[in-house]
Amino acid sequence: MDRQTLRDWVHRFNALGPAGLIDRQSPGRPPKLTEAQKEDLDGLVAAGPAGQVGGLARWRCIDLVDVVRQRFGVEYHPTSISRILRELDFSHISPRPRHPKQAGEVLEAFKKRLPREAGSDTTGSARGQSH
């Protein structure tokens, strides 16, 4: 321990008592986006890229880097955009994109399965296995 650290501790103890020796959290760098800009970004991401950026079916962090640069004049790394999205309660997992002309009834008909036969055994014993 150097003398300056000990001196700082003594001054903090004399000024604040034992509570002065507890490490305080540093305020850190202020965010580049204001709360109003984050709300705008929240609405933009929730609305999706349709009509905003041509050819995109869903937002990617690299696409949002460009959007944030153009709209707010702020440079962010894709990892930082991901952190901001988590703060805004967005998940990195997104549903598969849907084509705008996709027919819902065709999709539901494709998903339907054949009903199981009554009395069929799912253990595999009815497949000719000997006991």
Predicted confidence (pLDDT) at residue 114 exceeds the cutoff of 90: no
Is residue 76 within 8 Å of 30, Cβ to Cβ? Answer: no
State which H helix or E strand residue 110 sits in. helix 104-111
> Within its chain, how far is the Cα of 80 from the centroid?
11
What is the mean pLDDT of the segment spanning 68-91?
A: 93
Predicted confidence (pLDDT) at residue 2 exceeds the cutoff of 80: yes
| pLDDT-based confidence at residue 57 (cuts at 50, 70, 90) | confident
Q: Which two tokens stand for residue 97?
A: 């994109």
Determine the 3-state secondary structure of 95 from DSSP. Answer: coil
Q: Which two tokens stand for residue 46?
A: 């929730």
Q: Which two tokens stand for residue 22?
A: 């507890």
pLDDT of residue 101: 75
